[in-house]
Structure 1
Amino acid sequence: MFLKLFLKNRPTLPGHLLKLKKDLKKKKKLHAPLPPPEARIVQDIENRTSGLNLNNITRTKAYLDFHVKFPEIHWAFLAHMVSRNGGWNMTDLKGGLVGRLLTKNEAEAFFTFLERCNWLIFQDAFPQLLLYEGSRKHGRKLFHLLPHLGVSAFMEAVWNYFWEERDSYTITMGLVVNEQNYLESRVLDNPAFKENVFTSLEFLLQDVLSMNHILFPYSPGGRTELAGLTVHQFEDLEERILIGGKLYKILFKDEERLKRVKEWALANPHTGSRKDYWPNLFNDVEEFMPGSELKPRILACQLVPRAPRIFSPRLQYAWPNQKHPPAEPGDWFTDSDAVHHLLKTEEHIDDDIKTYYCKTLQQLDLAAIAKKAILSRSQPGGEHIITQHLEK
């Protein structure tokens, strides 16, 4: 079903994807018990993954460390930058803008959703990266071990193709397709998240406010610049896959900017605070004095004179590490037509996001002020008034 729109009037697959599709159609043999050396490889990968899957900070760093060792795996750097955004979204829930719009229960529900997505992707994708590292170390393909790590049959075929062709685009998009399908049944179709997150007022506000920006910071000449994309229709699998492809192009299409984004990432360890990329606007210490009057403080991505910076806490102080139940079993891959998502597209992507993001910050600032005024008057239906105000 999720391919219906994509496959309508679909283009002919090029030769390399036809071969990959043929491989995907092959009936997979049941994997026999592993010999001890390969069983030890699987166990080591599981242990290493578990040790790094503690929180958003450890995951984000692990992706970057891997990309530094294996720069041909573009997805690892894309995952690093997207995971940074996940951490910023987590701390926003306790910060000086979004945090003022949410109740404690709402913030916890949103954090649980973001954390579960972040955890699930890492526990599925990072073993794949480590198995590639092991294949390089041993000088032979080890991707037949992927099913023993709970990874989809789709990725076994894609990794085997990458080993032969070293096609960074195809392995990146393969991982994007895999991760989004992996999340679909485990999170997006989860009744608890549907009830507590997707149908809540604040999730609707997220779309109204365009809070869901994915930002790629860099610092030419010492000033903060941002590339990226605004995400809408997060619940739609097809849209999330397309967004993943767009983010990859934004990050890797301009070699000079990619170099600067990497330099920024290496020079600024991820803390979860937006101070990491914009210290003139954000601070990980609360500067707003309790009892002070809330006034508009953001104009054109700058603070008005003498205004306190926006509170954006570090993740370690905002949220404790979480204990996760095991990932739900099952392989999403049932249709070899999924390979059509690996086709390259040539569409133009507007990646100049700074102006839109600055407008979002101003809107959030005004929304927080409006909510405080409404609550102080105990006016019924205040949240809907905020929504209507922001839609204008």
Structure 2
Amino acid sequence: MHSHGTRDNKKGGKDVWAWTAAIPHALAESWSGTLASWQISLKLTTNKHELRWDYAAVRTIRRKLKDILSSHPYLQPPGSLMSSTEGYSSIRSHNQLHNLTQEEQELILLIQEAAANANRSNVTRTQAYYDCYKSYPELHWALLAHMVSRNAGWNMSDLKGGLMSDLTDSQFKNHLYRFLERCNALIFQDAYPQLLLYIHSRKKGAPLFHLLPHFHISAFMTPFWEQFWLDRGSSLLTVALIINEQNYIEGRVARHPFYLEHVLEQPFFRIHELARLNQIVFPLGQVSGPEADMMASQEPPDSTRPLAGMTIPKFADLSIRIKAGRTLYALLFGYEEIFHSVLAFAQSTKHRGSRAEYWPALFTPTLESAMNNTHESRNLIQSEWLPEGGRLYSPHIEEIWQDESQEPIPRYDWYQGRVMLRHIRKPIRPLLPDMTHAHRAALEKTSIVHDVSERIHSHENRKRPSR
């Protein structure tokens, strides 16, 4: 028994020494990675794309939004915001906003059915967003939502992946999955009918935005869609949809008592924020052409795909989420290199929720070929890539999470005051959009916490007396 303990101590000592010896290498890697990130960012930001912003249109919409607050017929009083799921329906039936034609009634049912079918899972939502953008590229928000939805899928897969799954208990993982799924499903349920209504308007050749209230869309959005129909101002509409989506989930999820108690106020949530949950990454694909083909041929076969993106400092803050949305939009559509590279990735890479989609040299969706030891951090620090058969497990989302039926949605209009009007502002491009090193560094930090946690649990289990 004594010799067994000695062997354990020696092994533990070797692990500590290995981690300690790797620190100088990690520091050097951090500095060189930061320099590389600056250099990549300079390259990515060389060719800028002007985001058209019509200040006269903004002034017109602000006036309309102020008028809506005092005159719109289907606003609820602030005191009834979370009252029930019936409030909106009763107000709508009382007002009879429009005497709908048979064609309009059929269109509403068609859009509702299409939205319900596409809202089955993260994978179906992500594809639906991309299909909208592919058919109507003036819908900038649809491509942004597609990429953010990919990130949501990767975060959901992390909950049962190779590192994060061991750091939290199963109950919290289920709660966090429900939180992420609820946020994304609600945003889709609200935004996708708006996109489809615009698409049907284009096909008909006439605006159909008088039907927005019949999909329980906030009165906030109507002036923006009406303006978009006139001038196709993609930036202004995108900012409006960002403000709308974040307000839509604020009361229904972010401030919901259940998710506050079981997710946002849990210490485990902070662990996930310190890991990769608050990082939004846009993988950069190879743009076709002779120059791109030549660059690709010069890279090692397992090279790490560069990433653009940003870190959202605090999810619980509504204003921060809105500002982050504007910045992500400016990053995606404000730089030529990033836009074309992200679009190339979206076109060439099917979304299934595994991080192996963008870093196959570090992740694998196959559990049997994944790493299974307590040395992830040492391996990640010492090697740029991981060998086949020793990569981190990042499963396909539909293999680990089942589709969930949607819960009832509280029906109310979030637009109750002027405070959100200050967020209608032109997006500003970030100066350092590269996230390759920061994402890799977060992965290493997570792996260190994982390995230390595993060693502690293993040591505690050995100390327990056998029965």
Give me the TM-score of the superposition, normalised by structure 1. 0.89
Q: Pick closer, same or farther for the CA change 1:188–1:23 going to 2, 3 Å.
A: same
Aligned counterpart for 1:21 among listed residues 62, 73, 76: 62
Shift of 1:336: 4.1
Partner Cα distance (1:165, 1:341) in 2 = 21
Could you tell which deviates more after superposition, 323-332 or 241-250?
323-332
Q: Aligned partners of 1:274 and 1:230: how far apart in 2? A: 17
Q: Partner of 1:229: helix, strand, or coil?
A: strand
Corresponding position: 1:322 with 2:366: no
Indicate how the Cα distance of structure 1 residues 116 and 345 shifts in structure 2: closer, same or farther if over 3 A, else same. Answer: closer
Q: Does 1:109 align with 2:190?
A: no
1:256, distance to aligned residue in structure 2 (A): 2.8
Classify 1:352/1:256 alpha carbon distance in 2 versus 1 (closer, same or farther; 3 Å): closer
Question: Which residue matches 1:38?
Answer: 104
Aligned to 2:267: 201
Asked whether the equivalents of residues 297 and 365 of structure 1 are also in contact (C-alpha less than 8 Å), the reply is no
Cα displacement string for residues 100-145 of structure 1 (whole angstroms, at most 9, x for unaligned residues):
2111111111101000011000000000000000110111111110
Q: Deviations 1:129-183 (Å, cap 9, x if unpaired)?
A: 0000011011111111000001000111110111112110000000000000000
Aligned to 2:220: 154
- After TM superposition, give the deviation of residue 305 of structure 1 in Å: 6.0
C-alpha distance in structure 2 between counterparts of 1:282 and 1:121, whole Å? 29
Task: Report if aligned partners of 2:371, 2:391 keep a CA contact under 8 Å in 1.
Answer: no
Residue 309 (structure 1) aligned with residue 391 (structure 2): yes
Quote the offset at 1:263 in angstroms. Answer: 1.1
Aligned residue number for residue 89 of structure 2: none
**Higher relative contact order at CA 8 Å, sep ≥6: structure 1 or structure 2?**
2
Q: Deviations over 1:64-105 (max 9, x none)?
A: 011000000100000000000000000000001111211111
1:216-235 matches, within 5 Å, as 216-220=282-286, 221-222=295-296, 223=303, 224-235=305-316
Unpaired segments ≥5 residues, structure 1: 1-12, 380-392
Secondary structure of residue in 2 paired with 1:61: helix
- Is it true that 1:368 corresponds to 2:409 in the alignment? no
- Contact 1:20–1:339 (CA<8 Å) still a contact in 2? no
Q: 1:75 to 1:207 in 2, by over 3 A?
A: same
Equivalent residue letter for 1:280? A
* Counterpart position of 1:47: 113
Distance of 1:312 and 1:301 partners within structure 2: 19
**Largest Rg, 1 or 2:** 2
* CA-CA distance at 1:255 after TM superposition: 1.6
Instruction: Determine the C-alpha separation between the residues in 1 that align with 2:371 and 2:306.
Output: 30
Quick one: distance in 2 between partners of 1:326 and 1:301? 48
Question: How far apart are residue 301 of structure 1 and its match?
Answer: 7.3
- Asked if 1:56 is matched to 2:97, the reply is no
Residue number in structure 1 paired with 2:19: none
Q: Does 1:358 align with 2:440?
A: yes
CA distance in 2 between partners of 1:200 and 1:378 (Å): 24
CA distance in 2, matches of 1:17, 1:289: 53
Cα 1:52–1:235 shift into 2, 3 Å: same
| Distance in 2 separating the partners of 1:260 and 1:209 | 25
Match of 1:216, SS state, is strand
5+ long unaligned stretches in structure 2: 1-53, 74-94, 287-294, 297-302, 462-467
User: 1:212 maps to which residue?
Assistant: 278
Aligned AA (1:330): Y
Count of residue pairs the alignment pairs up: 366
CA distance in 2, matches of 1:263, 1:289: 30
- 8 Å CA contact retained: 1:216, 1:228: yes
Superposition deviation, residue 318 in structure 1: 1.3
What residue identity is the alignment partner of 1:21?
R
- 1:263 is matched by which residue type in structure 2? A
Change (3 A) 1:169 1:253: same
Specify the SS of the correspondent of 1:119: helix
Percent identity between the two aligned chains? 37
Shift of 1:37: 1.4
User: Using a 3 Å threshold, how does the CA distance of structure 1 residues 348 and 78 change in structure 2: closer, same or farther?
Assistant: closer
Task: Report which stretch shifted further, 139-148 or 256-265.
Answer: 256-265
Q: Secondary structure at the match of 2:307?
A: strand
Residues in 2 aligned to 1:339 and 1:68: alpha-carbon distance in whole angstroms: 30
Shift of 1:303: 3.2
Q: CA deviation at 1:352?
A: 1.4
AA aligned to 1:243 is A
Displacement of 1:335 in angstroms is: 2.3
Q: Displacement of 1:307 after TM fit?
A: 7.1
User: Take 1:92 and 1:86, find their aligned partners in 2: how far apart are those partners?
Assistant: 10
Partner of residue 168 from structure 1, selected from 234, 239, 262:
234
Q: Is structure 2 residue 343 aligned with structure 1 residue 262?
A: yes
2:221–2:240: 8 Å Cα contact kept in structure 1? yes
CA contact (8 A) 1:52 1:58 kept: yes
SS in structure 2 opposite 1:297?
helix
Change (3 A) 1:145 1:301: farther
Question: Offset at 1:349?
Answer: 3.7
Native 8 Å contact 2:278 2:315 kept in 1: no
- Using the alignment, how far apart are the partners of 2:433 and 2:397 within structure 1? 27
- Aligned-residue offset at 1:209: 3.6
Equivalence for 1:88: 154
| Structure-2 separation of matches of 1:293 and 1:117 | 34
- Corresponding residue for 2:325? 244
In 1, Cα distance between the equivalents of 2:237 and 2:423? Answer: 12
**Between 292-301 and 135-144, the greater mean CA deviation after superposition:** 292-301
Q: What is the distance in 2 between the residues matched to 1:208 and 1:141?
A: 45
Which sits farther off after the overlay, 318-327 or 77-86?
318-327
Which range is displaced more, 103-112 or 303-312? Answer: 303-312
CA RMSD of aligned residues (A): 1.9
Normalization by structure 2: what TM-score? 0.75
The C-alpha deviation readout for 1:272-330, integer Å capped at 9, x for no partner, is 0011111111100122466x454522137723567711100001111010111122110
- The amino acid that maps onto 2:215 is L
Q: 2:138: which partner in 1?
A: 72
What SS does structure 1 have at the residue aligned with 2:283?
strand
Q: Deviations over 1:175-200 (max 9, x none)?
A: 00000000000001111111111111
Label 1:355 to 1:301 Cα distance change in 2 as closer, same or farther (>3 A).
farther
